[in-house]
């Protein structure tokens, strides 16, 4: 991996945090230096005279660089060779061109290869020695087979594996790696061919700062970078600056260009003696690199390097099709998993139960860590998912902030800081809304990348030299280390988002069908309810008429029984008197039952006269009437704070409170009796769920009496239902609670009890605000 950096003297760095982004300022394209394994001549493109030469021409040619300045090429080439060179100079562009494999310049000198290109107003002639090459013969049949394997590769990773193996076969490097960039420009070693005794780098990740921005830009322009000896001493150009500009010439396309000293130190710390890097480019963007390392100096010929560059360009040309093949394989797997889920949803009519019962199938639709299903307050998880206590805040956040019916992110924390609590399982979220309730969601989860990533190297540290210059030293060790890629998961692919949308639409279709079925049933139920209501009205009318008509003869029986007792008691024996007294009691009880039935039917027939009433006023009126009873039973009444103003029928509210307070005194055998009246806190749950605090106020009457076993909580509200014998706790018809409940329900409220046997009872009832 190309890694650059220089000594920085820019005063703008003073006081700033020192990090690898400072390396982005280095002008690596104009170092004014070359690597010494060859030499360089720069010609003025108009006069074709030598404008600059590398300082090592004395060593390699026996001619000082200064002596070459201003000379024509005839000074070096024989006429026949000069004609060949001049013919090539006319057509040079930025791309390299090799001229001659064994180019003899002067008698007795080594043979050289001449590589030429045109750039920055100069003609570049770079000379590499021939006899120093250590390459073996190229095995063309083997190369043909390898390229065939690359073409036949069915995945990107397999494609990379063939590429690194072939480059290693061609060059003989100890290690060749395929290095792929992520969206954040960090990189991962995805394939490797190496000497068997070397430690593997496969799977290691490297931070984006290992390759500064300007180095990435040069990789897009120059496909190959080669350093045959990492321990080289750089050779300067003579003169250093461009002949027509106050700077060194732009060496972007120079083969011999010297690299950063920090990059050299970086490689030396890895024990690398030689390196070569080949760009992998997709759609004009740097996709990755083929990185070669050798652990001693190694000069690879230009021809073999050019062949490796051809492999890199071939790789780049085929890369898009291989990625599409990868996407296709994953898409097929995704569609198969999706089809299995759709099959289950079709097979079983209750889609909610299907989802809850088959969460593994739901999870397997995508490559993810876990899944959360929440519907109608019921939450279930599968796989790597947060605890239930941590899911509630996630559901609340989604309900309040999720735009539309689908939401996806690879960093939940970026949207909600509380996401840091669940990052180990839910850094990535793909959620679909199942309904309009606050917690109706199906969510797929991905953990943060930190759990699966191993970074290479140790953290960069800045050094400040004695003269105040800032120097960024490279890593000193390359043992595995972990660096926080915090709160970030793998990105959701477009095909995954599309598939989630399809799942949402399929569930919506199922819900629509269910809704239509429910509507049909609701219409049927509405018709039956109308018939039942009419029947109940008729029954109420009958009960009223019957009870009203029965009272008159019953009153006659009662009165005549009393007359008999008063006028003929002395003529009857004790048994006769007792029977008459029993008849009186029975007639009185029958009259009470008929009166209760009459009152119950009246509640059903008559609409309440609702108006704004002060509950404190109503309670005061009730307690004044019951005051003698409070005194007689020794009961203390406690009012827990002021009562609210509500919308109710004052007569019925008075009767409800009267009944509840009377029962509280009646069913209490404690020596110290207390009854408390107050307002229940907001969010109180009733028999049909949480009471809507915006519409209703919940009042309560609590006693410390005998209590009621939970199994009897429903029975006590049935007409004429008593839990005790007639002669216990003051008798009564058992109709009071049934009448009170009907009064409350007539205004849309609820009446219920919370109690345990022997622990008192609390009666709650809701009335409109």
**Co-location of 190 and 295 in the same domain:** yes
What is the structure's pLDDT at 621? 85
Give the residue, 467 or 174, on which the prediction is more confident.
174
State mean pLDDT over 289-316: 92
What is the structure's pLDDT at 47? 92
**Co-location of 151 and 283 in the same domain:** yes
Does 485 fall in a domain?
A: no
- Most trustworthy range by pLDDT among 131-145, 602-616, 648-662: 648-662
Give the residue, 126 or 575, on which the prediction is more confident.
126
What is the pTM (predicted TM-score) of this model?
0.59
Does 209 fall in a domain?
A: yes
**Co-location of 391 and 318 in the same domain:** no
Does 504 fall in a domain?
A: no
Give the residue, 159 or 569, on which the prediction is more confident.
159
Residues 6 or more apart whose CB falls under 8 angstroms from that of 358 comprise 341, 344
**Co-location of 140 and 120 in the same domain:** no
What is the structure's pLDDT at 462? 42
Would you say 118 and 124 are in contact if contact means Cβ atoms under 8 Å apart? yes
**Co-location of 530 and 649 in the same domain:** no
Does 413 fall in a domain?
A: yes
**Co-location of 711 and 618 in the same domain:** yes
State mean pLDDT over 94-99: 70
Task: Answer with the one of 605, 639, 669 that is the final residue of a domain.
Answer: 605
State mean pLDDT over 114-119: 89
Task: Answer with the one of 447, 465, 485 that is the final residue of a domain.
Answer: 447
**Co-location of 425 and 547 in the same domain:** no
The mean pLDDT value of the chain amounts to 80
What is the structure's pLDDT at 9? 26
Q: Which of 165-179, 502-516, 753-767 has the lowest mean pLDDT?
A: 502-516
What is the structure's pLDDT at 20? 43
Spatial strand order in the sheet of 696-703: 635-640, 673-679, 696-703, 761-768, 751-755
**Co-location of 539 and 618 in the same domain:** no
**Co-location of 591 and 678 in the same domain:** no
β pairing state of 761-768 and 122-129: unpaired
- We report the CATH number of the domain holding residue 74 as 3.30.450.20
Would you say 630 and 591 are in contact if contact means Cβ atoms under 8 Å apart? no
Query: Could you give the percent of the chain with pLDDT greater than 90?
Result: 31
**Co-location of 156 and 303 in the same domain:** yes
Residues 6 or more apart whose CB falls under 8 angstroms from that of 494 comprise none
- We report the CATH number of the domain holding residue 528 as 1.10.287
Does 342 fall in a domain?
A: no
What is the structure's pLDDT at 565? 75
Total tally of structural domains belonging to the chain: 5
State mean pLDDT over 301-321: 90
What is the structure's pLDDT at 261? 83
- pLDDT surpassing 70 at residue 93: yes
Does 269 fall in a domain?
A: yes
pLDDT grade, residue 136 (50/70/90)?
low
- We report the CATH number of the domain holding residue 674 as 3.30.565.10
- pLDDT surpassing 80 at residue 219: yes
What is the structure's pLDDT at 548? 58
Would you say 455 and 205 are in contact if contact means Cβ atoms under 8 Å apart? yes
Taking only the tens place, the pLDDT of each residue in 576-611 is 777 777 776 666 656 655 665 555 555 555 566 788
pLDDT grade, residue 355 (50/70/90)?
confident
Burial class (CB in 10 A: 0-12, 13-18, 19+), 277: buried
- pLDDT surpassing 90 at residue 142: no
State mean pLDDT over 317-326: 86
- pLDDT surpassing 90 at residue 667: no
Does 508 fall in a domain?
A: no
Q: How far apart are CA 678 and CA 682, in angstroms?
A: 13
Would you say 80 and 57 are in contact if contact means Cβ atoms under 8 Å apart? no
pLDDT grade, residue 194 (50/70/90)?
very high
Taking only the tens place, the pLDDT of each residue in 444-455 is 999 987 766 666
- pLDDT surpassing 90 at residue 351: no
Taking only the tens place, the pLDDT of each residue in 41-66 is 999 988 999 999 999 998 888 899 99
H or E element in which residue 187 lies: strand 187-194
Taking only the tens place, the pLDDT of each residue in 518-539 is 677 777 777 777 777 776 666 5
State mean pLDDT over 330-342: 85
State mean pLDDT over 228-247: 93
Q: How far apart are CA 634 and CA 665, in angstroms?
A: 9
Residue 670 belongs to what domain range?
611-768
- We report the CATH number of the domain holding residue 298 as 3.30.450.40
- We report the CATH number of the domain holding residue 393 as 3.30.450.270
Taking only the tens place, the pLDDT of each residue in 700-753 is 999 999 988 888 888 788 765 555 555 565 555 566 788 788 888 888 889 999
State mean pLDDT over 665-676: 90
**Co-location of 177 and 304 in the same domain:** yes
Give the residue, 87 or 36, on which the prediction is more confident.
36
pLDDT grade, residue 456 (50/70/90)?
low
Chain centre distance of CA 122: 54
Task: Answer with the one of 579, 605, 631 that is the final residue of a domain.
Answer: 605
What is the structure's pLDDT at 549? 63
Does 491 fall in a domain?
A: no
Would you say 701 and 744 are in contact if contact means Cβ atoms under 8 Å apart? no
- CA 169-172-175 angle, 5° bins: 95
**Co-location of 442 and 543 in the same domain:** no
């Amino acid at each position: 991996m190309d890694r650059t950096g220089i000594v920085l003297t820019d005063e703008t760095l003073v006081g700033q945090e020192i990090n690898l982004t400072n390396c982005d300022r280095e002008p690596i394209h104009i170092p004014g230096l070359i690597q010494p394994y060859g030499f360089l001549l720069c010609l003025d493109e108009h006069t074709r005279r030598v404008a600059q030469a590398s300082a090592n021409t004395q060593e390699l040619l026996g001619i000082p660089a200064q002596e070459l300045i201003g000379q024509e090429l005839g000074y070096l080439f024989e006429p026949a060779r000069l004609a060949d060179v001049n013919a090539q100079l006319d057509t040079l562009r930025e791309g390299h061109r090799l001229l001659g494999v064994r180019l003899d310049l002067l008698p007795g000198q080594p043979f050289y290869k001449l590589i030429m290109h045109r750039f920055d107003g100069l003609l570049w002639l770079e000379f590499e020695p021939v006899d120093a090459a250590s390459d073996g013969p190229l095995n063309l049949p083997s190369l043909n087979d390898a390229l065939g394997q690359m073409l036949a590769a069915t995945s990107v990773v397999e494609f990379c594996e063939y590429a690194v193996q072939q480059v290693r076969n061609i060059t003989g490097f100890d290690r060749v790696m395929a290095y792929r960039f992520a969206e954040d420009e960090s990189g991962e070693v995805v394939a490797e061919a190496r000497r068997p005794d070397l430690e593997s780098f496969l799977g290691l990740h490297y931070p984006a700062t290992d390759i500064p921005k300007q180095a990435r830009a040069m990789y897009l322009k120059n496909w190959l970078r080669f350093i045959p000896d990492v321990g080289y001493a750089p050779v300067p150009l003579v003169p250093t600056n461009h002949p027509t500009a106050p700077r060194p010439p732009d060496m972007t396309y120079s083969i011999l260009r010297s690299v950063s000293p920090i990059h050299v130190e970086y490689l030396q710390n890895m024990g690398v003696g030689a390196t070569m890097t080949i760009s992998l480019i997709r759609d004009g963007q740097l996709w990755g690199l083929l990185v070669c390392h050798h652990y001693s100096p190694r000069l690879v010929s230009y021809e073999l390097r050019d062949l490796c560059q051809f492999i890199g360009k071939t790789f780049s040309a085929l890369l898009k099709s291989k990625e599409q093949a990868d996407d296709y394989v994953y898409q097929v797997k995704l569609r198969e998993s999706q089809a299995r889920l759709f099959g289950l949803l079709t097979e079983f009519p209750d889609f909610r139960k299907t989802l809850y019962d088959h969460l593994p199938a739901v999870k397997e639709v995508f490559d993810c860590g876990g899944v959360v299903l929440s519907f109608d307050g019921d939450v279930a998880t599968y796989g790597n998912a947060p605890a239930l206590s941590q899911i509630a805040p996630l559901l609340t956040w989604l309900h309040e902030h999720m735009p539309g019916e689908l939401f996806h992110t690879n960093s939940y924390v970026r949207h909600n800081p509380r996401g840091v609590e669940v990052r180990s399982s839910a850094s990535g979220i793909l959620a679909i809304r199942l309904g309009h309730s606050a917690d109706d969601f199906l969510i797929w989860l991905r953990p943060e990348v930190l759990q699966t990533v191993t970074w290479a190297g140790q953290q960069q540290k800045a050094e400040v030299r004695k003269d105040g210059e800032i120097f960024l030293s490279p890593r000193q060790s390359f043992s595995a280390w972990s660096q926080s890629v915090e709160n970030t998961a793998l990105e959701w692919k477009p095909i995954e988002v599309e598939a989630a949308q399809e799942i949402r639409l399929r569930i919506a279709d199922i819900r629509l069908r269910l809704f239509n079925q429910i509507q049909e049933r609701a219409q049927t139920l509405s018709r039956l309810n109308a018939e039942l209501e009419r029947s109940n009205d008729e029954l109420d009318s009958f009960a009223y008429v019957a009870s009203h008509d029965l009272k008159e003869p019953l009153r006659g029986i009662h009165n005549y029984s009393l007359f008999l007792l008063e006028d003929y008691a002395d003529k009857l024996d004790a048994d006769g008197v007792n029977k008459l007294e029993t008849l009186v009691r029975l007639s009185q009880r029958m009259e009470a039952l008929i009166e209760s039935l009459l009152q119950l039917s009246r509640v059903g027939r008559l609409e309440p006269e609702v108006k704004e009433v002060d509950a404190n006023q109503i309670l005061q009126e009730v307690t004044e009437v019951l005051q003698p009873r409070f005194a007689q039973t020794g009961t203390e009444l406690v009012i827990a704070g002021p009562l609210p103003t509500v919308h109710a029928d004052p007569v019925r509210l008075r009767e409800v409170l009267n009944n509840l307070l009377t029962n509280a005194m009646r069913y209490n055998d404690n020596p110290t009796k207390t009854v408390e009246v107050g307002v229940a806190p907001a969010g109180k749950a009733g028999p049909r769920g949480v009471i809507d605090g915006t519409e209703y106020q919940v009042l309560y009457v609590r006693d410390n009496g005998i209590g009621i076993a939970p199994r009897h909580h429903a029975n006590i509200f049935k007409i004429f239902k008593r839990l005790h014998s007639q002669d216990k706790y003051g008798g009564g018809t058992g109709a009071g609670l049934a009448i009170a409940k009907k009064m409350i329900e007539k205004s849309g409220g609820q009446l219920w009890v919370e109690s345990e046997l022997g622990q008192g009872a609390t009666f709650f009832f809701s009335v409109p605000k």
